[in-house]
Structure 1
Amino acid sequence: MADPYATLGVPKSASEKDIKSAYRKLAKELHPDRNKDNPKAAERFSEVTRAYDLLSDAQKRAAYDRGEIDAEGNPANPFAGMGRGGGFGGGGFRPEDLRGQNPFGGGGFGGEADGVDLGDLFEGLFGGGGARSARGGMGGGPFGGGFSGQQRRPPPPQKGGDIAYKLRVPFVDAATRKDQRITLADGKTIDLKLPAGLEDGTQMRLKGKGQHGPGGAGDGIVTISVDRHPFFRREGQDVRLDLPITLAEAVCGGKVKVPTVDGPVMLTIKPGTSGGTVMRLGGKGFSRKDGKRGDQLVTLEIDLPDDVTELAKRLEGWQDDRNPRGKLGV
């Protein structure tokens, strides 16, 4: 990905407010719902969202400015920390933890293997019983001692190490559980089915998609992060949206088009609807673990025109004698 500052069109000295303002403007222009016949706009929208995700995080932004991570949020030196389980950088979806296996346990090779009992080693060398005879006296056997000839089975061969992947999922794809294509360490691609109950930070295990070893391949561990959205917000398994309506729509009522993660729908507004009213669209949220979906909660906001001169003329001579703040004690 290109420099995130250049992607958003802001200087490196830009404030958080400037970055947020630039992102809102670009997201509004490039949103896929407004550019259904322009796939490049969708790609650009994703780039803008990734750039904002990095620069809106103070720690990530500082790390990027110091050159410690790249525009994708990966370590600038892809080989840093290999002895501690560090990963490889790269674009898209990539391995970040190529851990080897140490057959003798401990951290020498960065792996996670069971320790080996030294008694087992002696028994493997001398045909069994060696370690016990050293503690309990000499028994039968070819040496007149404790090598009884009883032999244990050798430990099973070790599996290959796991490989860690990071997968960024667009907000709408996460809500609708759209299949995600990822590239594995061996260069092959697979379509990943997102699970019900998906959360930011959810991990998925891909059996046999890790490193190869004498006992078989390890697994791939995919950690999912859900991207932000310019106007949808997640609240548990529900999706929230602030919907602007005109004063005429609030007073007279009518049907208005509302965006949802499943596409636009028509919403009926009753005459005399006040700003701040919350309306519920069932089944338009994120999936719960049982597969059922949450709802979309739409908060209506009355949006007045920038120039209210004509509106003021129409209201001239009309007076609302109510005190809408009376219930607040003022």
Structure 2
Amino acid sequence: MSDDPYTVLGVAKDASAAEIKKAYRRIAKECHPDLKPGDDEAEAKFKAAASAYDLLKDADTRARYDSGEIDASGQERPQQQYYREYAEAAGNPYRGRAADPDDMSDIFAEFMRGRGGYQQRTQEFHAPGHNRAYNLQINFLDAVFGASQKLTLPDGDRIEVKIPAGITDGQTIRLRGKGDPGFGEGPPGDALVTVSVAKHPVFDRQGDDIHITLPITIDEAILGGKVPAPTIDGGVNVSVPAGTSSGRTLRLRGKGVKKRGSSDRGDQLIELTVSMPDQIDDDLKQFMETWRESHSYDPRKGMPS
């Protein structure tokens, strides 16, 4: 990999400051170690980009590099200078300069430089540890109501993960201080736990609502009445109106998932479907034949033929 900062960032030597910053942020988003843990090639590319950006983002330092006064690592070309000497030298562009508050990635760039060739500049380095990424599968009802579950780490340690009520599939829980140890006096990183929610055989979540399909018999569909139905809180009896067709939906208010930031809950929607009996006996067959002769109707009326 070239150590020329322009080549590393993929910009021309006459690139504007905005173009340099945009190029660095693009590489940081693609190769950040938190996004690609364990990818040494991506980490090396990110470190190189951070080093190049740090050199070129300051107009004075960039001019000194362009004129050949300093090399790609920011050191004087005539002789080697360690960081303490360089920091105390008159005219040092880094002396007393605050970090750019608009570019938080610079903070992490300082950390990454401390792990690489820049260690020769200082014997004192403090930075947060790496974050660690984990995956955790939980069951459907634990996602709805919340729970506490143990997560086993690669070193065998186990940490407790508190699952908030209403968490969704793919959501990430941050456990402060449960990542890699910090450097020097830096704090440890965090554990980032991405949750996957297992499917339920009956309940289907759609936003804050719970959906189910409930089979009913022919006589329940025709005559109506009370029929049992499952909810995430337990079984209830629901009223099926007389003359119900498949596809009709009943709504149970407040029987869904707790809404985020509120004590209210979504609803449960029950889609009814008429289920035929396993065997059509002679009595039912004869009754329907007689009924059809005097009560014939066309449920497909109006549909194109």
TM-score (norm 1): 0.55
Deviation at 1:235, TM superposition (A): 2.2
Listed one character per residue, the Cα deviations across residues 173-200 of structure 1 (whole Å, up to 9, x for unaligned) are 2122233332344544344332355222
Which position in structure 1 is the counterpart of 2:174? 205
Displacement of 1:257: 1.7
- Which residue matches 1:322? 297
* 1:224 aligns to 2:195 (yes or no): yes
Matches within 5 A, 1:165-314: 165-195=134-164, 198-213=167-182, 214=184, 215-291=186-262, 292-309=264-281, 310-314=283-287
Deviation at 1:302, TM superposition (A): 0.6
Identify if the C-alpha distance between structure 1 residues 86 and 219 changes in structure 2 by more than 3 Å, giving closer, same or farther. Answer: closer
1:125 paired with 2:85, answer: yes
Change in 2 beyond 3 A, CA 1:156/1:289: farther
Matched position secondary structure for 1:179:
strand
Secondary structure at 2:130 match in 1: coil
1:231-276 per-residue CA deviation (whole Å, 9 max, x = no partner) reads 3223232222111111111122222221222222221212222221
Give the AA of the match of 1:194.
Answer: I
- Does the CA contact (< 8 Å) of 1:196 and 1:290 recur in 2? no
Write the mapping of 1:17-32 to structure 2, written as runs, cut at 5 A: none
- Return the alpha-carbon distance in structure 2 between the equivalents of residues 268 and 185 of structure 1: 52
Contact 1:176 1:261 in 2 (8 A): no
RMSD value over aligned CA atoms? 3.8
On the 8 A contact 2:143/2:164 being kept in 1, the answer is no
Q: Is the 8 A contact 1:175 1:286 kept in 2?
A: yes
The Cα offsets for residues 26-58 of structure 1, whole Å up to 9 and x where unpaired, read as: xxxxxxxxxxxxxxxxxxxxxxxxxxxxxxxxx
Question: What's the counterpart of residue 164 of structure 1?
Answer: 133
Q: 1:195 to 1:111 in 2, by over 3 A?
A: farther
Query: Are 1:205 and 1:222, in contact at CA under 8 Å, matched by a contact in 2?
Result: yes
Extract unaligned runs of 5+ from structure 1.
1-83, 88-95, 101-105, 134-152
1:39 is aligned to none
Cα distance in 1, alignment partners of residues 91 and 82 from structure 2: 6
Cα distance in structure 2, aligned partners of 1:112 and 1:130: 27
Q: 1:275 corresponds to which letter in structure 2?
A: S
The CA distance in 1 between the partners of 2:131 and 2:279, in whole Å, is 62
CA distance 1:253–1:191, change in 2 (3 Å):
farther
Distance 1:127 1:250 in 2: 84
1:69 equivalent in structure 2: none
Say if 1:206 and 1:124 are closer, same or farther in 2 by CA, change over 3 A. same
Q: Matched residues in 2 for 1:186 and 1:99: separation?
A: 20
Partners of 2:129 and 2:49 in 1: CA distance? 10
Q: 1:126 to 1:307 in 2, by over 3 A?
A: closer
Aligned to 1:108: 44
> Which secondary structure does the structure 2 equivalent of 1:193 belong to?
strand
Amino acid at match of 2:235: P
* Cα distance change of structure 1 residues 236 and 156 upon mapping to structure 2, 3 Å threshold: same
Percentage of matched positions with identical amino acids: 35
Contact 2:144/2:165, CA 8 A, preserved across alignment? no
